Structure 1
Amino acid sequence: MFRTALRSVAVAAAIIGLAPLGAAAGVPGGPNGPGPLVRFAPGSFPESMALSGGSELVTLGFAGELVRVTGSQVSSVATVDLEGTSLLTGVVVRGGYAYVARAPFAGGPSYLYRVPVTASDVAPQPWVTLSDDGGFPNGLAARGGRIYVADSAAGVIRTVSTDTGTVATWCADDLLKPGHYGFGVNGITFGPDGALYGVVSDFGRVVRITTTATGCTVTAVVEQQQLASADGVSFGPDGGLYVTVNRSNRLWRVDLTTRRLTDLAGRSDGLSYPTQVLFPDADTMLVTNGALSGGVPDLLAFGLH
């Protein structure tokens, strides 16, 4: 969702209504029986999540909070005073720390926080400044000693050294740039082949990114209107790339070999502005609902065939 709309929703904090949460008939090879693990406060906007030691760490974007979900229990890990100017976006876990991005609505600096995954109810200060010029850090990924940060406004991917905190622009390419709504590369994840995969929200584009001697090579794998406003991405146990599409309230599976898209779930299955998808094991799929388009913000669990 473009930043001015995010800001207006944050200020209003007026998310109401309840989306249906009944069990779906199921899709062969896909999700079945959705049900809410936990529900979050109205207007909190669960934006991203990461797995950590049998729990899920979820960023509540407008609340400025990182929470730990263990079963049906929710506890606070960290809270940031956003001062009404920004929101928390991506989260990734690496080396005993949770890394959390903070994105401004309009101008100003963007930050990355680093919090021990064992922390409880702390108030961290920014670890590094990602950009001083109004970028929008969004999806995060980790590999080796680096955190990869997708900046949706700038259409670039930055890296941050986990040892030194040094920030560098790793990949800048026209295929990552935003379009009409101002959202370029968004969710990112490493694939089984070692390449970094991402979605470019405004164009419904899936890209594959590899390292070269001079930086990166970006290849468009799929570009379909059904994926416009794509948000979170994750590889499933079947090797498919799963994509949440927030504005249309859909979950898609992308076969990267055949480039075929499979529609797995929608609003009738409990999706309400879905923001991220993860697989804690071979039998379970988790989806966070931001609920900007109605419904309640929650964490859904789907059983897999």
Structure 2
Amino acid sequence: MTARPLAGGAPGPVWTAPGLQVKRCAGPNPLWASNGVAFGPDGRLWIAQFLGGTVGALDVTTGGIETVLGPDGPLTAPDDIAFADDGTLFVVDLPAGLVWRRTPDGALSVAADGIVAPDGIAWHRGRLFVNELAPDGRLLEIDLAGGPHRVLATGLALGNAMEVGPDGLLYYPHLMGGEVWRVALDGGTPERLHTGLDRPVAVRFDPAGRLRILSNGERGTLWTGSAGGALTGFDTGIGGADNVAFGADGTAWISGAFRGGIHALSPGGALREVVPPGLNGPFGVACAAGGVLASDYFGLVRVPDGGVPEYLGDVVAQVRGGVRGVAVHAGNTVLATDAGGLWRGGPGRWSPLASGLGSPTGVADGGDGVLVADTAAGQVLHVADDGTTTVRADGLDRPVGVACDPDGTGYATTTGGGRVVRLADGAVLAAGLQHPEGLAVHGGALWCAEAGTGRLLRIDPVRRSTTVAVSGLAFDVRPPHVPADCRSGLARRPAPFAGVAADGGGVVVALSGDGGLLGVTAA
């Protein structure tokens, strides 16, 4: 094989078999879903990366990012952070129901447990407060000595980022209720201040003491006002924004859960990109006219040939689930979601095709319908255009990727057994693989992403022989301490899925380990 450097900032190089060449189509991503943000005592902007399982620190002057708590540590999916007066960092670990404490010397311990989807976190004068991202969520004060949590409020319609205001009251949002509330730190009846807001995700106060509210909606509105008074809004255009922290000069530093990245909004209204957005996966991929479609959990992204990725909307709300697999069939895009749904259509016009699946992952055009791998059920299904569902294969050990050749023959990968199988007769075409995932048919061969080894394999379905086409690829395999169903309430850290797609020009691979796309073509 030949070692080739990979343009676009990849850690490369990758190795390619003779006769092949590779090119970077998108990525890599410097942040894996930038969620909670807070300025640390070192002056850096610290960032909780929910989908990456990490906490990093951004030098806002140089743009350099240091990973402080890495994916090899105990975190599953951190969502928000807060600093104590002595520099101790507190991190909410949402699916695990934990609050972690990191002391200035780097020691890590559990500060609180048993919380349902802990999300928003705030520190004030030696006291720590956490709320829950759940229907009928609670607002809690954490007893740092290990005693029971004290309930300040209930009935939150998804809590999120919050802060104590200049008046000494704790301000917090109901994300799905479109409301902002406040409550006294020592208890009492909570007071509703604002209603009718578009997904308020963070409530903060700037250095001037003004109430600031950030929207998670498509416009990414940042409102300014006072408790119960009129609000004025500035549309940042950051769809899926998650949190905001204010510098001493009043600059708003905004994170983006759905698209990643960090933007800075000056007090005068100038918006600049500090860390570019990137793909959160990517997961499933499909070749479309003039480019590639990538499912990115919160949304769908189109990557034109030689162009900049274009976000096609934060579809997670439209299809009521995180997007996993994607295919193009009969002029429509078909999406599989982690909520067990199969949807077809396009941006703004999605309609359900099937529902009630266990855990659909890979999707492929099947001619007269689509093939979908139901990982949890151990099945590959065929879903016709009228929604009729039939089982093409059963008893499989965690099928993930599916593909169909021009003759209508279907294939699947099974991550449990490490195999690539033909659906019609169950024939094993490759075995002993380490976590095979995405699958595509190109040039009479099957192309399989072997996530456990960082390789793209080329499988001859007739001879049942396997060769390595590309190696050294950045694929993501979830750490052992992160559970298979890593979720709490409505939030989930999805399992990695390295999709593969093909068209007449070659093969595209989702680099789930660095947030990029790789094209493989004949040299």
TM-score w.r.t. the length of structure 1 is 0.72
User: Equivalent residue of 1:73, what SS?
Assistant: coil
Where does 1:115-264 land on structure 2 (aligned, <5 Å)?
115-116=345-346, 119=347, 122=348, 127-131=352-356, 135-162=358-385, 164=386, 166-174=387-395, 176=396, 178=397, 184-210=398-424, 218-225=425-432, 227-237=433-443, 239-264=444-469
* 1:21–1:35 Cα contact (<8 Å) kept: no
> How far apart in 2 are the matches of 1:157 and 1:278?
18
Answer whether contact 2:455 2:469 (CA < 8 A) is retained.
yes
With over 3 angstroms needed to count, the CA separation of the structure-2 counterparts of 1:194 and 1:113, relative to structure 1, is: closer
What displacement does 1:158 show?
A: 2.3
Deviation at 1:304, TM superposition (A): 1.6
Distance 1:149 1:23, change over 3 A: closer
Equivalent-residue separation in structure 2 for 1:22 and 1:228 (angstroms):
21
Query: Which of structures 1 and 2 has the larger relative contact order (alpha carbons within 8 angstroms, sep 6+)?
Result: 1
Please point out which of 17, 20, 24 is paired with 2:11.
20
C-alpha distance in structure 2 between counterparts of 1:140 and 1:188, whole Å: 6
Task: Give percent identity, aligned residues only.
Answer: 26
Unaligned residue ranges in structure 2 (runs of 5+): 1-8, 33-279, 477-496
| Aligned twin of 1:66 | 300
Q: What CA RMSD, in Å, does the superposition of the two structures yield over aligned residues?
A: 2.5
Q: 1:140 deviation in Å? A: 1.1
Aligned AA (2:284) = S
The amino acid across from 2:363 in the alignment is L
> What is the aligned residue count?
245
Seen in structure 2, the aligned counterparts of structure 1 residues 172 and 260 have a Cα distance that, compared at 3 Å, is: closer
4+ runs of 1 displaced by more than 4 Å?
Answer: none
User: Match of 1:220, as an amino acid?
Assistant: A
Equivalent pair of 2:430/2:464 in contact (CA under 8 Å):
no
> For the residues of structure 2 that align with 1:264 and 1:144, how far apart are their CA atoms?
27
Map of 1:107 onto structure 2: none
- Give the counterpart of 2:342 among 85, 108, 112: 112
Q: Does the 8 A contact of 1:49 with 1:58 survive in 2?
A: yes
Change over 3 Å in CA distance of 1:158–1:194 after alignment to 2: closer
Instruction: Give the aligned residue type for 1:112.
Output: L
**Superposition deviation, residue 129 in structure 1:** 4.3
Shift of 1:198: 1.1
- Structure 1: distance between partners of 2:408 and 2:383: 18
The CA distance in 2 between the partners of 1:172 and 1:209, in whole Å, is: 6
Report deviation, 1:303.
Answer: 3.5
The structure whose Rg is larger is 2
Cα 1:233/1:81, change in 2 over 3 Å = closer
Counterpart-to-counterpart distance in 2, 1:149 and 1:48: 12
**Gaps spanning 5+ residues in structure 1: where?**
1-17, 105-109, 179-183, 211-217
- Cα deviation digits, residues 237-261 of structure 1 (max 9, x gap): 2x11110011221111111222211
Q: 3-state DSSP class of the match of 2:416? A: helix
Q: How far is the alpha carbon of 1:82 from its aligned partner?
A: 6.2
| Contact 2:383 2:390 (8 Å CA) reproduced | no
- Alpha carbons 1:203, 1:223 under 8 Å: kept: no
Q: Is the 8 A contact 1:22 1:35 kept in 2?
A: no
Map of 2:520 onto structure 1? 302
C-alpha spacing 1:189/1:81, structure 2 compared with 1 (3 Å): closer
1:279 offset after TM fit, Å?
Answer: 3.1
- Pairing 1:245-284 to 2, within 5 Å after superposition: 245-267=450-472, 270-273=473-476, 275-282=498-505, 284=506
Alignment-derived partner of residue 9 in structure 1:
none
Corresponding residue for 2:227?
A: none
One-letter amino acid of the structure 1 residue matched with residue 392 of structure 2: C
TM-score, structure 2 as length reference:
0.43
Distance 2:507 2:413 in 1: 19
In 2, the alpha carbon distance for the partners of 1:279 and 1:172 equals 23
Question: Which one is further off, 245-254 or 141-150?
Answer: 141-150
